[in-house]
Amino acid sequence: MSAIQENLQQSQLLSEQEQQQPSQAVQAPHMAQVKPVKEKKAKKNASESAYPLEVSPIPEYVAHRIAMFDELKKKADEAIAAQPRLPISITLPDGSIRDGISFESSPLSIAQSISKSLAEKVVIAKVDKVLWDLNRPLVQSCQLELLDFEHEEGKAVFWHSSAHVLGEACEKHYGCHLCVGPPIEEGFYYEMSMKDERVVSQSDYESLETVAKNVIKEKQPFERLEVSKEDLLEMFKHNEFKVQLIQSKIPDNTASTVYRCGPLIDLCRGPHIPHTGRIKAFAVLKNSASYFLGDANNASLQRVYGIAFPDPKQMVDHKKYLEEAAKRDHRRIGREQELFFFHELSPGSCFFLPHGARIYNTLMSFIKSEYHKRGYTEVMSPNMFNVKLWKTSGHWENYKDEMFMFDVEKEQYGLKPMNCPGHCLMFDVRERSYRELPLRFADFGVLHRNEASGALTGLTRVRRFQQDDAHLFCRLDQVGEEIDATLDFLQHVYGIFGFEFSLALSTRPEKYLGKIEEWDVAEQHLTDALNRFGRPWSINPQDGAFYGPKIDILIRDSLRRNHQCATLQLDFQLPERFNLQYRNSNGSSSSEGSDFSRPIIIHRAMLGSLE
């Protein structure tokens, strides 16, 4: 995935879950395996779509890109050829060491030296824990891992490369300008700007698959090239979207990389599979409309989704999986059983019918009964606040684009997207004593988040929702005990529902509030609690909230899909920003001395949103 694509992925119009949303995208009626393409079949497909299989003549921008790439690649190859060839050692995960030559040996050559079957199965390499193209030469002694499609990172690379095949097919068939094409949870997509206001239709799918299968048959190699920002702007000058990304995301006087397969050259960090022939089954799944960068104020784009596998049998299995997922789709069940529905006059806001409301209220009553047993106090807080609150909390800087804002008497207000700032005001309404802590505020208040319309996916992504949200205000010496109790609460709730769940510690992100020392302490508290809990857990580097590290909990549904519902977050920042304090055991009322201390906040939810 390119550096730009990675930076944009969180702000894309559709979430990864959108791939399962038939109501907002046209679904493919078939799955295609990669087979030799007969000319007669190609003509049939082209006539079905009422457009030629490939545009002619080739667009000028394609020839311009290729000419620049060839010139720059020649210089890059000459520079590599001039590098000295030195002996290097390649250490494999089992501790064995292979000899190599710098700028000649590659991960693929090492795999071939081990076994032919391994070389055919491996998708991508990791060199000193950094993803690395299989054909890219090694430059020094290193540790080498070889990943196949079953590895999470291997699968993402395979689908990213498949997205480039889809992008090449789209360019050839439509003569379009490509925008971004990342891998997602189940496959990949490419979005594009179409000329003459043409839109993608279901009748185009076979033509796109025909072109894609020809690309795969050609075994086009993926070629990597580092290019300066200045040359990138020249290379992509015909594509206004690429130009905007280059200008906004790549610093001046630096470089990024492009990858080429066939005539397609795209801004991309990579890495990629060795060549397109590694793809053995390819299908176009659906299409939808989108906006550039997920912003409705930007240009409207067309998005095409696909799926691909290194084994045709995997495509057959995936088709069965999609059929089963369609049967179990909660939106379909909600309609058929008259539980809930959505309406275009209030997008992302669910209408719960009587049976649905009973289920909803039963869930809430269950959590309330647990609150009573576990020492929680239920509170109610306002739905809208002056923008000053969000500026104090730090949400304005980090979250304003996801909030619904409006003016009231020349002041700006916002519907609350979360409860924590309001709970800080409730804690601060009077002087607090150390004897009151821990103070556990639970709130089922209505929350609103301004999700893009295309990202709305039934009850899994909404604009209006309620959480079983609580904030625990405690002393530093109580943090461990409170986290332990929260994890016990979690295990009890999920045990009743029969959910399998996994745990991950999300650490300090690049954009964060507060001091690194405070983050280190908070992360250590969560690490210790996870170790005491005794279940396996993993680390999500740099995936914490901007105000503190967190424990993310993923549950699995009957189709083995992961969903994040519960969360547990440790926060040293909000108490500081709201100047929260409690009288400690010294007993003095002077806030100037050491007689007052700051509480620590634990944000937690069990069900997440009740929806």
Residues assigned a catalytic role: 420, 449, 467, 469, 471, 550, 603
Collapsing DSSP states into helix, strand and coil, what is residue 351?
A: strand
**C-alpha to C-alpha distance for 235 and 345, rounded to whole angstroms:** 44
- Residue 611 CA to residue 360 CA, distance in Å, equals 8
d(CA 349, CA 193): 30
3-state class (DSSP) for residue 396: helix
Give the strand order in the sheet containing 432-433. 432-433, 582-583, 596-597
Helix (H) or strand (E) holding 112: helix 107-114
* Residue with the two structure tokens 């909803």: 360
Q: Concatenated DSSP letters for 555-590? A: EE-TT--EEEEEEEEEESHHHHHTT--EE-TT----
Half-sphere exposure for 33 (CA within 13 Å, toward CB): 11
Q: How many residues does the chain have?
A: 611
Burial class (CB in 10 A: 0-12, 13-18, 19+), 138: buried
* CA distance to 52, 54, 192, 195, 205, per residue, from 48 (Å): 10, 14, 22, 20, 10
CA terminus-to-terminus distance, the chain? 33
> DSSP readout, 409-442?
TTEEEEE-S-SHHHHHHHHTTS-EEGGG-SEEEE
- Residue 504, classified by CB atoms within 10 Å of its CB into exposed (0-12), middle (13-18) or buried (19+), is middle
Identify the DSSP state of 504.
E
Tell how many helices (H) and how many strands (E) occur in the chain: 18, 31
